[in-house]
Structure 1
Amino acid sequence: MKLTVLVDNNVYIDHYYLGEPALSFYLEDGNEKILFDTGYSDVFIRNAELLNIDLSQITKLALSHGHNDHTGGLSQITDLFDQKKPQLIAHPLTFFPKKEQDLAIGSPVTIKDLEREYELLLTKEPVKLSPNITFLGEIPQLVDFEPRLQVGETKITDTFVPDYVFDDSALVFEGTDGIYIITGCSHSGISNICEYAKRVTGNQTIKSIIGGFHLFEENIQLEQTIEYFKKNQINTLYPCHCVSFPAKAKIHYQLPIQEVGVGMQIEWQ
């Protein structure tokens, strides 16, 4: 399996791609070409062109959750597919309106729009995207130090209600030596995601994690997360997007982390 970072907050020095505070990964596993999240804008398309990645060949599009730094590019991509309709996989709550005070923070594209362009699969259950990659669906509460936090509000019926981002999901790749976690923002808790990936795959060996860990403060949750990584012997970490510098520094002091930037490619077997 090959993963390419199309969008991240960070761009490497002397690598002339575009960055934005968002996330998009491109995955190739066998015959499947999977886009995981679309960033805020058309930046993922422009970076893909610079990286010689043909997004018109995408077979599946998976979304980590409904916030616009992961779904904003949906309004830019549909013209790429001509007559083909890729499958789009997401949690059922992904496309309900979301706001933070008066600021809209949800997907700019509605379910009705998507039904015309994609084979839409909205699911709370895990779904195989390829022989080795699984979309995890809804992440249950398995770790007591990662309570779900409210992020704005969502409109599921007639009124806006507190949003605890139950649509937040992730991917897991099953390799020959263990499992590899690919996450968007980890509103569900990065350790919760890891525990559920172990339950879904039946594999207890986590080799690596890449994506947003949603860690910002130097607090007890960060300390317990680091202990979880150490207990599970997760020695290769790629925190990006929504991980603050102080949090990265705190993790790196005990477990060396890898720098992530647009254009980075990883291959796992």
Structure 2
Amino acid sequence: MKITVLIENTKGELEDLINEHGLSLYIEKGNKRILFDTGKTNNFIVNAQKLGINLENIDVVVLSHGHADHGGGLLSFLKINNRAKIYMKRKVFGDYYSGNILFKKSIGINKEVFEKYSSRIEYIDNFTEIMEDVFIITDIQRNHKVPEGNKYLFVKEGTKIVNDKFEHELIMVIKENKGICMFSGCSHNGAVNMIEAVNKLFPGTSIKALIGGFHLAKIPAIDIFSTSQDEIDLIINKIVNEKIEKVYTGHCTGEKAYNKLKQGLGNKIEYIRTGSEVQI
């Protein structure tokens, strides 16, 4: 399996690529072409063209959750690809905000996506195999702490705006020959909780790689670090105890939190940047 980072907050070695606050991963496994998240704008499409990746050939798109830095480029994608099904949880359709008690900014996905392209969307409510060896996990139990930065994220329920419980977040799992790889956009439900959700459905199966963000930065766009060392240690211990072979992280993890994770995980963890390629 080959993973190419089409968009991430930081610029990698390829200077002509565009970076932005967001995440988009292009995944090739055999004859399957999967897009996991679409970044904030159409910049992931521009980068794909520069990398020689034809997004018209994408078979499926999986949206990790309903924030614009992961689904903002979806409308642009749908205009150039007329075949891929889009998989997401039903509550991705909601109205989401970031901010504080005084000021809140909309961070939801453009509603035109749901109105104009409803026939392309598949809402997933339960554990589902969307194509051979590619699974969506929707049920994530919160047995451990969730990221502290969640307190700055909100959802509209009726006429009220309340703290988001992230019922719109999912996990993607791809089965490999000798284990599985799990993908998370931001791990708003907590990285440890999400690892446990995977283990529950794939008991005794080795996790070869964990790919995605951990939301350890309070404000990821400017990498303000707010996570306690206890939370960092909890993630490190879980990764070590579960014998997860490799971790590829970036985006909302933040480089400051990454450096702390690196101290505990060493060469088991790598930071992914715009243009990074990973072979699993």
TM superposition score normalised by structure 2? 0.86
**Distance in 2 between residues matched to 1:37 and 1:71, nearest whole Å:** 6
Shifted more, 151-160 versus 130-139: the winner is: 151-160
Deviation at 1:158, TM superposition (A): 4.1
Q: Which residue of 2 aligns with 1:52?
A: 52
Q: Which residue of 2 aligns with 1:122?
A: 123
Q: How does 1:60-79 map to 2 (within 5 A)?
A: 60-79=60-79
**Distance in 2 between residues matched to 1:57 and 1:147, nearest whole Å:** 36
Q: Which residue of 1 aligns with 2:91?
A: 93
Q: Which residue of 2 aligns with 1:264?
A: 276
Q: How does 1:1-269 map to 2 (within 5 A)?
A: 1-81=1-81, 84-100=82-98, 101-110=103-112, 111-116=114-119, 118=120, 120-141=121-142, 143-146=143-146, 149-216=150-217, 217-256=227-266, 257-268=269-280
**Distance in 1 between residues matched to 2:139 and 2:108, nearest whole Å:** 18
Root-mean-square deviation (CA, aligned residues, Å) is 2.0
User: Which deviations, in whole Å up to 9, do the C-alpha atoms of 1:20-41 show, x marking residues without a partner?
Assistant: 1100011122333111111000
Q: Are the counterparts in 2 of residues 150 and 164 from structure 1 also a CA contact under 8 Å?
A: no
Deviation at 1:14, TM superposition (A): 4.5
Q: Are the counterparts in 2 of residues 89 and 121 from structure 1 also a CA contact under 8 Å?
A: yes
Q: Are the counterparts in 1 of residues 86 and 122 from structure 2 also a CA contact under 8 Å?
A: yes
Q: Which residue of 1 aligns with 2:223?
A: none
Q: Are the counterparts in 1 of residues 96 and 156 from structure 2 also a CA contact under 8 Å?
A: yes
Query: SS at 1:207's partner residue?
Result: strand
**Distance in 1 between residues matched to 2:140 and 2:152, nearest whole Å:** 16
**Greater helix fraction, Structure 1 or Structure 2:** 2
**Distance in 2 between residues matched to 1:203 and 1:167, nearest whole Å:** 27
Shifted more, 2-11 versus 28-37: the winner is: 28-37
**Distance in 2 between residues matched to 1:229 and 1:123, nearest whole Å:** 27
Distance change in 2, residues 1:175/1:203 (3 Å)? farther
**Distance in 1 between residues matched to 2:229 and 2:185, nearest whole Å:** 22
User: Which deviations, in whole Å up to 9, do the C-alpha atoms of 1:129-156 show, x marking residues without a partner?
Assistant: 3322212123222x32347844432224
Q: Are the counterparts in 2 of residues 150 and 165 from structure 1 also a CA contact under 8 Å?
A: no
Q: Are the counterparts in 1 of residues 14 and 275 from structure 2 also a CA contact under 8 Å?
A: no
Matched to 1:263, the amino acid is G
**Distance in 2 between residues matched to 1:131 and 1:204, nearest whole Å:** 17
Shifted more, 38-47 versus 27-36: the winner is: 27-36
User: Which deviations, in whole Å up to 9, do the C-alpha atoms of 1:207-240 show, x marking residues without a partner?
Assistant: 2211101123243111111111111122421110
Where in structure 2 are there 5+ consecutive unaligned residues?
218-226
Deviation at 1:51, TM superposition (A): 0.9
Distance change in 2, residues 1:124/1:151 (3 Å)? farther
- The runs of 4+ residues in structure 1 deviating greater than 6 Å are none
**Distance in 2 between residues matched to 1:85 and 1:12, nearest whole Å:** 31
Distance change in 2, residues 1:203/1:175 (3 Å)? farther
**Distance in 1 between residues matched to 2:210 and 2:160, nearest whole Å:** 37
Distance change in 2, residues 1:147/1:105 (3 Å)? closer
**Greater strand fraction, Structure 1 or Structure 2:** 2
**Distance in 1 between residues matched to 2:23 and 2:172, nearest whole Å:** 14
**Distance in 2 between residues matched to 1:249 and 1:161, nearest whole Å:** 32
**Distance in 2 between residues matched to 1:263 and 1:68, nearest whole Å:** 20
Distance change in 2, residues 1:146/1:204 (3 Å)? farther
**Distance in 2 between residues matched to 1:85 and 1:159, nearest whole Å:** 37
> Identity, % of aligned pairs?
28
Matched to 2:278, the amino acid is I
TM superposition score normalised by structure 1? 0.90
